[in-house]
Amino acid sequence: MDGNDFAPALTRRHFIVTAVTAAGGLALGIGMAPRLAQAAAVTAQPWDEGGYDPHEIDAWIAIDPDDSVLIRYQRSEMGQGSMTALPMIISEELQCDWSKVRVEYASPNRNIRENKVYGDMFSNGSRSVRASRQKMQQVGASARERLIAAAAARWNVPAPECTAASSVVTHAGSGRTLRYGELAADAAKITLASEPAIKTPDKFTFIGKPMPRIDVPPKVDGSAKFGIDAQLPDMVFAAIVACPVAGGTLKSVDESPVAGAPGVLKVVRLPDAVAVVATGSYWRAKQALAKLQPEWDVGPAGDIDSAQLSSAFRAALDGPAQTARNSGDVDKAMQGAAKTFEAIYETPYLSHSPMEPMNATVHLQPDRLDVWFGTQDALEATEKAAHWSGLKPEQVFVHNAFLGGGFGRRDASDEVEQAIAIAKAVQRPVKLIWTREEDTRHDKFRPHALVRFKAGVGSDGVPTAWSMRVVTSSILASAKITFPGLKGPEPMATAGLSNNGYNVPNTRVDVVLKNTHLPVWFWRAPGANQHVFAIESFLDEIAAAGGHDPYQLRRKLLAGRPDWLKVLDTAAEKGDWGKPLAPGRGRGIAICEDTDSLCAQVAEVTVSPRGQVKVDRVTVAIDTRYVVNPLTIAEQMEGGLIYGLSAALYGKLTIRNGAVVEGNFDTYRMVRLAQAPKIDVHLVPGGGEKWGGAGEPSTPPIGGAVANAIFAATGKRVRSLPIMDHDLSSGSA
């Protein structure tokens, strides 16, 4: 998938004469003083009523008489910082005063009613910046030129004699000035003869500066609203439990245990779940639900466990495969190799586990549906909600909130489908919240995967041929989506393998897609998050066997790829590669390409005699090609790495009787402060044709870097995750 093919043409929108307030809006009683003092700010709350403003220049920008600028943001803020980055891009071209910028979510309903004026609205694949930046530049440049044209008309001078800077238009000859706030109403009526050119990256003066994220202030005082925080008059609460085995159905449930329980309004039967609805508090619904003992028809998957799944994946290794990459002649080169290697790497199912459990609040009326929740795709959610409610998309108002973590999970809207069904049953506004256990067990999971590597090396220990054969599940089939124009296997299935940067003349990557009863989904850096651990570990095996330094062997195989080398060298140098370490400590290195960015990491670990692993320090080098906000990119490197580290050290879902065993954070363990390494991030943007992503590329390398560091410290090779399942003790404990 490529985020750079966006056509820069911008549909011209004319001024909305009157602010249209949608009928039937709900009073939310939510407010927050605007924070305009020092920096750009996020507006009161994301869930505006209809997405209109009386001072609009177009659907994207409104400028008040006091010069404050309202910018609409069509993506989803889940911590990745694009709610700051996209307005920065608009501001670069608009030449407005950043301290006067406010940002709010664009309305998906307006998008539908106004012919997709905001375009697509998804936030996935680390694409918010790279898929939007040309359009954001065009939005800013168009508004700027219309403000200039309005001033030129006021002064009766040619527009080219005027310039715009810091929210002021100046006429060079006369020195006259007009503020944006004085020009906005006129600018709104102006149609440009042609769209202005946008800046090339070398002309950026604001893009590239480290800017504090605009969503941080409301996130330190409790005022930031997440989906779970929606409060409606007359709202009731729902707790839900789905059939423990995915694909199973509800047979029956005896309601008598909750008779007379406080506040219980109704037991709602869904095809594959039971919900209890209560007044007053979610706790009442949750407590009552716990009293029920639903009978499930678990279906044919009801006797499947992890060992069976692992065996089935191994058995599928020699099944019919699709080829993702094939260069040279691997079989022939293997025959001539001085030595061959083979190893299988295995990574388990995982849940996304965002801190905010799945939830949705819906108010369903005969001719209107309002949904409050956090979604990575408010437009698709609107269309799906219309389908589930039987209303037209223009009757559906999705009020996107701040997302309490996304990581790919908030992209399916399955919680909305449930909430609509419950609302139909109770005929009242309802807030559905999943328990943590429900969130873990009824995720759409990171797939289980195997990679079987075979490699042939020359007498110098350098590989001349390698093949990689993956067994994993199809995310596209599970998500029931297609990538238009896709040739070959779905890219997630071999991500990190088929796009490895190493110059091994004979390379083959095949994939066998084996689907199970467990739904699988996009999980931060899909495919790469598990396959990079595998390939970077296997390459380390080759290096060790041939007596090569792992860093130097990578350098040799990346010869002629200066962008890869720069990232690798930066991580190695800043990470003190080669400097002596005490016994029991080790360094490992890994590199990958992901979302058109390059990321290398050097991990430094200590392994105790009892085999306990502590990751002390990680050095990151990242080439996103271009940088909008270096502060956010550094944050994404830090956070993405920790996300991958939890998976590498602890992440595993166990399947027993077809169901996920782990439920809460006591059994599904996460990295906390005490396990978090010291992290240093180095940005080395290399420019070029494509823009790279930032939200995902630091997740894939960490598992390999840590596993390789463990090998350096102990001589023990980790070929499956999580690391906690391996005995790394040195026998002296």
Partner 1 sequence: MITLTVNGTQHELTLEPDTPLLWALRDEVGLTGTKFGCGIAQCGACTVHINGVAMRSCSVPIASLQGASVTTIEGLSPDAKHPVQQAWIAEDVPQCGYCQSGQIMATAAFLKTHPAPTDAEIDANITNICRCGTYERLRRAIHRAADMMKA
- 355 belongs to the binding site for partner 1 (CB under 8 A): yes
Site for partner 1 in 220-249 (CB under 8 A): 220-226, 228-229, 231, 237
Q: Say if residues 360 and 389 touch (Cβ distance below 8 Å).
A: no
- 212 belongs to the binding site for partner 1 (CB under 8 A): yes
Q: What span, in angstroms and rounded, lies between the C-alpha atoms of 544 and 714?
A: 13
Q: What span, in angstroms and rounded, lies between the C-alpha atoms of 537 and 455?
A: 13
Q: What span, in angstroms and rounded, lies between the C-alpha atoms of 469 and 324?
A: 10
One-letter amino acid for residue 351 of the chain: S
Q: What span, in angstroms and rounded, lies between the C-alpha atoms of 359 and 413?
A: 9
Give the nearer residue to partner 1 in terms of CB position, either 50 or 208. Answer: 208
- 403 belongs to the binding site for partner 1 (CB under 8 A): yes
- 407 belongs to the binding site for partner 1 (CB under 8 A): yes
Q: How far is the CB of 639 from partner 1 (least distance, A)?
A: 4
- 404 belongs to the binding site for partner 1 (CB under 8 A): yes
All residues at 6 or more sequence positions from 716 whose CB lies less than 8 Å from its CB, including other chains: 710, 726, 728
The side-by-side arrangement of strands in the sheet containing 168-171 is 162-165, 168-171, 177-179
Q: Say if residues 415 and 305 touch (Cβ distance below 8 Å).
A: no
Among 46, 181, 248, 354, binds partner 1 (CB under 8 A): 354
Stretch that binds partner 1, among 2-10, 101-109, 479-487, 659-667 (CB under 8 A): 659-667
Stretch that binds partner 1, among 118-126, 129-137, 354-362, 382-390 (CB under 8 A): 354-362
Q: What span, in angstroms and rounded, lies between the C-alpha atoms of 598 and 591?
A: 7
Q: How far is the CB of 632 from partner 1 (least distance, A)?
A: 8
All residues at 6 or more sequence positions from 111 whose CB lies less than 8 Å from its CB, including other chains: 74, 117, 118, 119, 121, 379
Q: What span, in angstroms and rounded, lies between the C-alpha atoms of 29 and 34?
A: 16
- 666 belongs to the binding site for partner 1 (CB under 8 A): yes
Per-residue binding letters, 13-52, with partner 1 (x by CB under 8 A): ----------------------------------------
Site for partner 1 in 145-174 (CB under 8 A): none
Stretch that binds partner 1, among 121-129, 212-220, 241-249, 305-313 (CB under 8 A): 212-220
Q: How far is the CB of 682 from partner 1 (least distance, A)?
A: 14
- 217 belongs to the binding site for partner 1 (CB under 8 A): yes
In order of 352, 414, 436, 658, the CA distances from 442 in angstroms are 10, 10, 10, 12
Among 133, 171, 213, 446, binds partner 1 (CB under 8 A): 213
Give the nearer residue to partner 1 in terms of CB position, either 679 or 709. Answer: 679
| Residue 38 in tokens | 């020092």
Stretch that binds partner 1, among 12-20, 125-133, 166-174, 640-648 (CB under 8 A): 640-648
Q: Say if residues 658 and 245 touch (Cβ distance below 8 Å).
A: yes
Size of the site for partner 1 (CB under 8 A): 65
Give the nearer residue to partner 1 in terms of CB position, either 290 or 462. Answer: 290
Q: How far is the CB of 39 from partner 1 (least distance, A)?
A: 10
Q: Say if residues 250 and 273 touch (Cβ distance below 8 Å).
A: yes
Among 244, 496, 546, 640, binds partner 1 (CB under 8 A): 640
Q: How far is the CB of 667 from partner 1 (least distance, A)?
A: 10
Stretch that binds partner 1, among 191-199, 247-255, 264-272, 672-680 (CB under 8 A): 672-680
| Residue 430 in tokens | 């309802």
Give the nearer residue to partner 1 in terms of CB position, either 299 or 405. Answer: 405
Q: How far is the CB of 679 from partner 1 (least distance, A)?
A: 5
For tokens 């060992």, what's the residue? Answer: 307
Q: What span, in angstroms and rounded, lies between the C-alpha atoms of 69 and 61?
A: 7
DSSP assignment of 141-172 equals HHHHHHHHHHHHHHHTS-GGGEEEETTEEEET
User: Is the CA virtual torsion 146, 152, 153, 159 positive or negative?
Assistant: negative
| Residue 260 in tokens | 């007379």
Q: Any idea what DSSP says for residue 356?
A: S
Give the nearer residue to partner 1 in terms of CB position, either 312 or 676. Answer: 676
Which phi and psi angles does 608 have, rounded to 5°? -75, 160
Q: Percentage helix, strand, coil, to 5, in the chain? A: 30, 25, 45
Among 665, 687, 715, 725, binds partner 1 (CB under 8 A): 665
- 678 belongs to the binding site for partner 1 (CB under 8 A): yes
Give the nearer residue to partner 1 in terms of CB position, either 287 or 506. Answer: 287
Other C-beta atoms closer than 10 Å to the C-beta of 494 total 27
- 262 belongs to the binding site for partner 1 (CB under 8 A): yes
HEC readout, 15-66: CCCCCCCCCCCCCCCCCCCCCCCCCCEECCCCCCCCCCCCCECCCCEEECCC
Q: How far is the CB of 132 from partner 1 (least distance, A)?
A: 20
Give the nearer residue to partner 1 in terms of CB position, either 304 or 653. Answer: 653
Among 43, 68, 80, 507, binds partner 1 (CB under 8 A): 80
Stretch that binds partner 1, among 300-308, 322-330, 668-676, 725-733 (CB under 8 A): 668-676
Give the nearer residue to partner 1 in terms of CB position, either 404 or 703. Answer: 404
- 639 belongs to the binding site for partner 1 (CB under 8 A): yes
Q: Say if residues 139 and 62 touch (Cβ distance below 8 Å).
A: no
Q: What span, in angstroms and rounded, lies between the C-alpha atoms of 457 and 538?
A: 13
- 671 belongs to the binding site for partner 1 (CB under 8 A): yes
Q: Say if residues 592 and 526 touch (Cβ distance below 8 Å).
A: no
User: Is the CA virtual torsion 157, 160, 166, 167 positive or negative?
Assistant: positive
Give the nearer residue to partner 1 in terms of CB position, either 193 or 674. Answer: 674
Q: How far is the CB of 137 from partner 1 (least distance, A)?
A: 25
Q: How far is the CB of 572 from partner 1 (least distance, A)?
A: 21
- 612 belongs to the binding site for partner 1 (CB under 8 A): no
- 78 belongs to the binding site for partner 1 (CB under 8 A): yes
Q: How far is the CB of 199 from partner 1 (least distance, A)?
A: 26
- 81 belongs to the binding site for partner 1 (CB under 8 A): yes
Give the nearer residue to partner 1 in terms of CB position, either 447 or 677. Answer: 677
Give the nearer residue to partner 1 in terms of CB position, either 29 or 175. Answer: 29
Q: Say if residues 143 and 96 touch (Cβ distance below 8 Å).
A: no
Q: How far is the CB of 37 from partner 1 (least distance, A)?
A: 12
Q: How far is the CB of 488 from partner 1 (least distance, A)?
A: 33
- 433 belongs to the binding site for partner 1 (CB under 8 A): yes
Give the nearer residue to partner 1 in terms of CB position, either 76 or 714. Answer: 76
Q: How far is the CB of 363 from partner 1 (least distance, A)?
A: 17
- 673 belongs to the binding site for partner 1 (CB under 8 A): yes
For tokens 């209107």, what's the residue? Answer: 368
Buried b (16+ CB within 10 A) or exposed e, 205-229: ebbbeebebbbebbeeeeebbbbbb
Per-residue binding letters, 275-304, with partner 1 (x by CB under 8 A): -----xxxxx-xx-----------------
- 638 belongs to the binding site for partner 1 (CB under 8 A): yes
Q: Is 119 left (phi over 0), alpha (psi -120 to 50) or beta?
A: left
State the residues that interact with partner 1 by CB under 8 A.
78-81, 212-213, 215-226, 228-229, 231, 237, 262, 280-284, 286-287, 353-357, 402-407, 433, 435-436, 631, 635, 638-643, 645-646, 664-666, 670-674, 676, 678-679
